[in-house]
Amino acid sequence: MAVDKGQIFTGSEKVDKYRAIYYAGASGDYNPIHIDPEFGKMVGLGGAILQGLCTLAFTAKVVTDWTGDPGRLKKIKCRFSAPVIMEDTISVQGNVTDVQAGRAKVELKVVNQAGAEVLQKVEAEVDA
């Protein structure tokens, strides 16, 4: 697949109620704000929240699904800006902003179902 400046792509992921527990098992991040809803409420989060890196992984998956090859993703970065809770739907929109020397720069917008940006300043680079 050729990558051209101005290309736009989208994707989404629904966060199932066990996702933070699955991710804790894979990552070792057993912080109680991620796996104990009562603790999450006690500290003012309204319940358990998804690990930020899991949200970023969902975002990376949208990019690699679009490119058709996970090996084409060379760089991704973001600022974690709002918590994601179980049962949220994360939507990602990517926009190719530049293509030079075989690399494409992609700006991504990542929001929940209410339109709140859960990640900000999200940028990726992929092999063009």
Tokens of 127: 């092999």
Catalytic residue chosen out of the listed positions 11, 33, 40, 52: 52
Domain definitions of the chain by residue range: 8-15+51-127
Residue-wise pLDDT for 31-59, tens only, equals: 999 999 999 999 999 999 999 999 999 99
pTM summary value: 0.94
Q: Which of 127, 126, 128, 1 is nearest to 60 (CA)?
A: 126
- Any catalytic annotation for residue 85? no
pLDDT of residue 106: 98
Examine the residue annotation and report whether 47 is marked as an active-site residue of this protein: no
**15/47 Cα distance (integer angstroms):** 14
The yes/no answer on whether domain 8-15+51-127 falls in CATH 1.20.1560.10 is no
Please, what is the end-to-end C-alpha distance for the chain in angstroms? Answer: 8
